[in-house]
């Protein structure tokens, strides 16, 4: 049964971002004591649900994404393998750089054990001792315990000895997956990677006159600036349109656009690109949770970053990469003559089907999205972001079916494109989709 504390956290999480929260209002609305409400709000702040802002109060904020794991520690390994620690707790924050499966003699394994590595082994005391003395941690599989002597040595050397009930192959797969996930996360570009820091950002104070805007605009050649208060919190945005026809001595806080769209450093560049294209924004302030200005990100920087990401190979494959990696473009007939309208082929493999042996709806969606983007790149030489897809699955597409995907560009504009996609098996249409894309600007 959920406690009052849990119910308060659930209530806070259900509130819209930007909603103000107070101990008194929580206590009154949920019929709990103010002490209980206070403790729950503090916990909500610790887990990133709310933030307390000076002279504003406590507000509901977006929960931050987990930070990219720049390193894999032995403590993180314990969590991944659902294990426990038998000794060497002081070394849990040390980095894992490789792992070795101890399915060999001690003499043979000695050449593979290096400081910072992890030996995966069963209940072999000699191998465990050898690993610790050579600077490696130990992971005992099969749920076996270890000798007190090994646990004492681990404590002395501050090298963890871990235990899991899984077998060696399973834990090796789990650790490999964690290392692969690290590489994928590092590939996802965030605002923090590209934004212009505060020292290079041009901004104005809310109490300044319009003449200050004109001076800064002439100096920089820009027409859009964030407006901050004396505490450096973003109050608005001022543009050339805002000051049109206004007196030079009028204050900026009277003419600026209040509550502007802002971004946080932990947001992905893809999500910011989507917003900029959709709303036609040239610049967005980058802020902390309390709206303190950290810098700015420009539309040009975002477009360059997105195009760079799409050109660069990833360090590790995602599920999406595995799906689209099987797509083959057919641009010539059997005699080698070029086709006027190239099409795409794909064979449905066992990993791509659902429990009844037909292609997963998600896999089919991913295929069509990728084909739409590739078609626009071939035909228009433009990168795009999928905005909307209306997919009709007309007939079942079974395991080992070879499908053909034909595309037709219905409309292509400065900001968006619309495509018609048809999926065939043996010249019979089995699926059809209408795809709308956002078109990225050339940088």
- Look up residue 195 and give its two tokens: 């934004």
What is d(CA 137, CA 114) in angstroms, rounded to the nearest whole number? 10
β-strand partners of 419: 409, 435
The Cα angle at residue 163 between residues 160 and 167, in degrees rounded to 5: 130
Contacts of 363 (CB under 8 A, 6+ apart): 323, 352
Q: Using the predicted structure, report yes or no on whether residue 175 has a pLDDT greater than 50.
A: yes
Nearest to 152 by CA among 88, 84, 78: 88
pLDDT digits over 226-251, tens only?
999 999 999 999 998 888 888 989 99
What is d(CA 154, CA 89) in angstroms, rounded to the nearest whole number? 8
What is d(CA 358, CA 284) in angstroms, rounded to the nearest whole number? 44
The mean per-residue pLDDT over the stretch 337-363 comes to: 88
The mean per-residue pLDDT over the stretch 129-154 comes to: 93
What is d(CA 58, CA 12) in angstroms, rounded to the nearest whole number? 11
pLDDT digits over 33-64, tens only?
888 888 888 888 777 778 776 556 788 876 55
pLDDT digits over 268-325, tens only?
887 888 788 777 788 899 998 888 999 999 888 887 777 665 555 444 456 777 788 8
The mean per-residue pLDDT over the stretch 353-369 comes to: 90
What is d(CA 58, CA 95) in angstroms, rounded to the nearest whole number? 37
Q: Which long-range contacts (CB under 8 A, 24 or more apart) does 415-420 make?
A: 415/277, 415/439, 416/387, 417/376, 417/380, 417/382, 417/384, 419/372, 419/375, 419/376
pLDDT digits over 368-400, tens only?
999 999 999 888 888 888 889 999 989 989 988
Quick one: what percent of the chain has pLDDT higher than 90?
35
Per DSSP, the residues of 28-39 read HHHT--HHHHHH
Task: Provide the whole-model pTM.
Answer: 0.47
The Cα angle at residue 314 between residues 313 and 320, in degrees rounded to 5: 110
């Amino acid at each position: 049964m959920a406690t009052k504390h849990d119910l308060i956290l659930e209530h806070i999480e259900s509130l819209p971002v930007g909603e103000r929260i107070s101990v008194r209002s929580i206590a009154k609305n949920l019929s709990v004591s103010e002490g209980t409400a206070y403790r729950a709000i503090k916990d909500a702040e610790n887990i990133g649900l709310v933030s307390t802002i000076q002279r504003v109060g406590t507000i509901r904020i977006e929960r931050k994404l987990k930070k990219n794991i720049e390193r894999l520690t032995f403590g993180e390994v314990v969590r991944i393998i659902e294990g426990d620690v038998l000794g060497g707790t002081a070394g849990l924050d040390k980095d894992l750089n490789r792992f070795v499966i101890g399915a060999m003699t001690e003499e043979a394994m000695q050449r593979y054990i290096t400081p910072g590595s992890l030996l995966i082994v069963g209940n072999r005391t000699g191998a465990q001792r050898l690993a610790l003395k050579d600077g490696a941690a130990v992971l005992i599989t099969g749920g076996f315990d270890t000798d007190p002597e090994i646990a004492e040595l681990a404590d002395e050397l501050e090298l963890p000895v871990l235990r899991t009930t899984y077998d060696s192959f399973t834990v090796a797969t789990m650790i490999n997956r964690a290392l692969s996930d690290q590489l994928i996360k590092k590939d996802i570009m965030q605002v923090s990677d590209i934004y212009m820091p505060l020292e290079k950002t041009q901004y104005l104070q809310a109490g300044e006159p319009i003449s200050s805007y004109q001076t800064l605009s002439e100096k920089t050649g820009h027409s859009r600036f964030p407006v901050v208060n004396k505490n450096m919190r973003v109050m608005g945005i001022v543009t050339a349109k805002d000051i049109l026809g206004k007196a030079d001595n009028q204050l900026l806080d009277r003419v600026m656009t209040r509550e502007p769209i802002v971004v946080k450093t932990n947001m992905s560049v893809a999500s910011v690109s989507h917003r900029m294209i959709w709303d036609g924004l040239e610049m967005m302030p980058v802020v902390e949770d309390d709206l303190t200005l950290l810098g700015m990100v420009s539309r040009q920087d975002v477009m360059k970053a997105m195009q760079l990401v799409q050109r660069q190979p990833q360090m590790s494959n995602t599920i999406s990469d595995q799906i689209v990696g099987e797509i083959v473009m057919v641009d010539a007939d059997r005699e080698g003559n070029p086709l006027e309208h190239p099409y795409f082929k794909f064979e449905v493999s066992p990993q791509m089907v659902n429990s009844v042996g037909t292609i997963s709806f998600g896999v089919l969606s991913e295929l069509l999205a990728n084909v739409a983007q590739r078609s626009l790149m071939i035909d228009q030489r433009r990168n795009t972001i999928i905005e909307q897809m209306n997919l009709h699955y007309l007939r079942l597409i079974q395991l080992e079916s070879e499908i053909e995907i034909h595309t037709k560009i219905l409309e292509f504009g400065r900001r968006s494109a619309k495509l018609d996609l048809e999926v065939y098996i043996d010249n019979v249409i089995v699926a059809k989709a209408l795809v709308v894309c956002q078109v990225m600007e050339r940088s």
